[in-house]
A and B are shown apart, each in its own frame.
Chain A
Amino acid sequence: MAIKSILVIEDDRFIGEMYVRSLKKAGYDVDWMVDGNDGLIAARNKPYDVILLDVMLPERRGSEILQILRGGAEDLIPATKVIVLTNFDQTEEARLAMERHADGYLIKAEITPKKLISVIQKLDQ
């Protein structure tokens, strides 16, 4: 599967812009949503190859979005890879709950856009 389209759900303007800039430079098609509601709607309306999902989002938490997309009887985004990107130190329980439905879980402060792109390329293999 060749990853082409990426949805970034990220409320921090600086961080969002940084990812969007680097991903676009690397040749991906990128959509960016800044709140949880819009993010969920976008994720359901268009089949993205990858979703980068923040946890602490206005309107709707990332955990809730993931639960709706992946937690029900049917996986609503079977062809999409989800990488949770957060700086929030979740409790072990909450983190494990999200990890169950995601393809990756990264601390934003620990990665740079360059590393993020290498992670996405790794998913592509």
Chain B
Amino acid sequence: MNEEEIITILSEVRDPEIPVLTISDLGILRRVEYTHDAVRIQITPTYSGCPAMDIIQADIRSELAKHGLNNVEIKQVLSPAWTSEWMSESGREKLKAYGIAAPATHACFLDGEDKPESCPLCHSKNIEMISRFGSTACKALYRCLDCREPFDYFKCH
């Protein structure tokens, strides 16, 4: 077993609230070290109070246990702070296919407009915000003015 193989195993761990995304798609898996049968992992939360973090830690442990790795230390690191820029390209595609608009890139850093590019269902750009907060801390709620469907937007953060 080496670190790369462990990262491959951990790629199976999914976000419990957006199960199409793995923790590597999200960019929250920050570091994996493997020495003398001990695994040391660093993860970073998306939002300070994200309730998925506890479940993700438990899932990491059980996934590694399946491969006989029981000596696992998981540390939450806060700096550098997670940003939606760390989401992988394949993660963005999976989100859209799941019906959630992917985060705008760079927008929030340059005081640009933090809004979805288009409706993830019909791809219309004719959209409007319903609420700044959606079903989880990382999402806002929008609606498409063409196909009339409401949809979630993964916020630029």
Interaction A to B = no
Partner-A contacts on B (CB < 8 A): none
A residues with CB within 8 A of B: none
